[in-house]
Amino acid sequence: MTLFFALAFHAIIILGISFNIADDTTPPLTTMEITLVQSHSDKAPDKPDYLAQANQKGGGNVKEKTHDQSPLSNPVPTQDNGFAPVREQAVAPSLTRPEQAQMEVMTTHRAKQKTPSKPQKEPLPDLSQTLTVAQLLERSRQNIARMSAEIDRIKKTYHITPRRTYVRGANAKEYRFASYLDAWRTKVERFGNLNYPEEALRHNINGSLLLDVAINPDGSLNHMKIIQSSGYKVLDDAAKRIVRLAAPFPPLSKEILVDTDILHIPRVWYFKSNSGLSTGGQ
């Protein structure tokens, strides 16, 4: 009996004593849930379920209480820590290494037959649409620029292409050509007889050839061409060598340069062992 009362007494003492934490003056934290609504109404609801930036009476097509959601809201559920999950960033496709690019290149054998491509014609402008004044002016400027470029090209072509005059027939009778032709013939025959081909004299080779000699305005040799051969290489080579020895020739006179840039003198060259070299008309 004494033991029972002793245990009961200690139990009352131990269980009856409690400790309380000192009262804090800070009010307890409370939570507030706010919803952003997509529409609003003039009359406020009697018993609102949520706080929002505007009044909105209840509506919808479900009976239970649900949160208002935006149709463009994030479909991924929000994590517990309060931060939305990080969305995957767009990553550019990996670059193809040069080795792989070379392996993917298609190769074909070169075709044996080639077909020339036809020139493409410039399509005509579409006049179905109404053009503004600014567009018409711009097209006019483009056409004028194109025409100016074409005119410049024609002028350059005209200046680049030399005016050639062949002294033959009636041209040779004109005074401005006759005097120059006589001086040219005298110089050529003098050099030709001084340098007559010895092989032709030794083998008594006679013949004639037609040689065209082109002369620049300053009298220098432009070019020469055998139009009709004599049939003997020794005579053809001798005629060319004599022209080179006689050049340069007198400069072209102002009267000739009026309509001539290069003067051509096509003449027949006669090689005779007993009388030497002479040049006659074509």
**Residue ranges of domains in the chain, CATH in brackets:** 164-280 (3.30.1150)
* Gap between the Cα atoms of 101 and 92, Å rounded: 17
pLDDT at 11: 80
pLDDT at 188: 94
pLDDT at 62: 55
pLDDT at 76: 52
pLDDT at 154: 66
pLDDT at 18: 60
* Gap between the Cα atoms of 204 and 201, Å rounded: 5
pLDDT at 265: 92
Low-confidence ranges of the chain (pLDDT < 70): 16-42, 49-54, 56-109, 111-113, 117-131, 154-160, 169-173, 281-282
Q: What global pTM score does this model have?
A: 0.44
pLDDT at 162: 80
